């Protein structure tokens, strides 16, 4: 997740090539990768022959990268502190095997199935004549669907200025969307989910 967010994976590789240490923040997405995981993803974890918590899998994924020098992970209990220290000690660069990496691919596929709009944020739909920030609304809709959490604050919807309620159903955006997304229908879905 978030491989293309901010500097992302490319930035990590670039920093590593330059010998610059990288500190990874929020490796568990504020706890989303540790609790209340969607059923499709839980099934992938349960099918694994290695018994690790989702949090441990996520942290090991981060520590597997050579450029990562430190990981900032929030912890609420002594048990979590002990677990994180153990994982940091064991989670060395290139320590994940082919089977582990295959499992991450299955997790990605499970998340993709929950995605409502395969928006690439190319912004060809922008500016919207009605003032809707289409890519941001679709990103919030995807977050809500993936995590079963329509909380407008957590998905970022609350901070979007051009909310789905501004959509006039003109469908101009649909004519230019390279992904062929039914944007007006998705705006109605977002309006219903986020109540605004």
Q: Is residue 2 part of a domain?
A: no
Please report the pLDDT score of residue 123 as a whole number.
92
CB atoms within 10 A of CB 2: 10
Are 77 and 12 contained in the same domain? yes
Q: Based on the structure, what is the number of domains in the chain? A: 2
Average pLDDT of the chain?
A: 89
Diameter over CA atoms, the chain: 56
Measured in degrees and rounded to the nearest 5, phi and psi for residue 25 equal -110, 145
Domain that holds residue 60: 8-114
Are 80 and 19 contained in the same domain? yes
Are 56 and 104 contained in the same domain? yes
For the chain, report the end-to-end CA distance as a whole number of angstroms. Answer: 27
- pLDDT tens-place string over residues 20-32: 999 988 888 777 7
Return the structure tokens found at 172. Answer: 């101009």
Please report the pLDDT score of residue 135 as a whole number.
96
């Amino acid at each position: 997740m978030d491989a293309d967010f901010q500097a992302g994976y490319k930035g990590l590789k670039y920093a590593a090539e330059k010998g610059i240490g990288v500190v990874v923040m929020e490796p568990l997405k504020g706890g989303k990768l540790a609790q209340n995981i969607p059923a499709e993803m839980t099934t992938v974890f349960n099918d694994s022959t290695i018994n690790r918590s989702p949090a441990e899998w996520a942290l090991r994924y981060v520590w597997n990268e050579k450029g990562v020098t430190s990981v900032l992970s929030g912890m609420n209990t002594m048990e979590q502190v002990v677990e994180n220290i153990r994982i940091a000690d064991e989670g060395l660069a290139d320590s994940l095997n082919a089977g582990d990496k295959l499992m991450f691919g299955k997790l990605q596929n499970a998340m993709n199935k929950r995605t409502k709009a395969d928006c690439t944020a190319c912004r060809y739909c922008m500016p919207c004549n009605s003032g809707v920030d289409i890519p941001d609304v679709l990103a919030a809709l995807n977050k809500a669907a993936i995590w079963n959490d329509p909380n407008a604050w957590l998905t970022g919807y609350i901070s979007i200025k051009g909310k789905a309620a501004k959509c006039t159903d003109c469908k101009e955006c649909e004519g230019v969307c390279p992904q062929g997304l039914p944007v007006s229908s998705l705006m109605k879905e977002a309006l219903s989910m986020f109540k605004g």
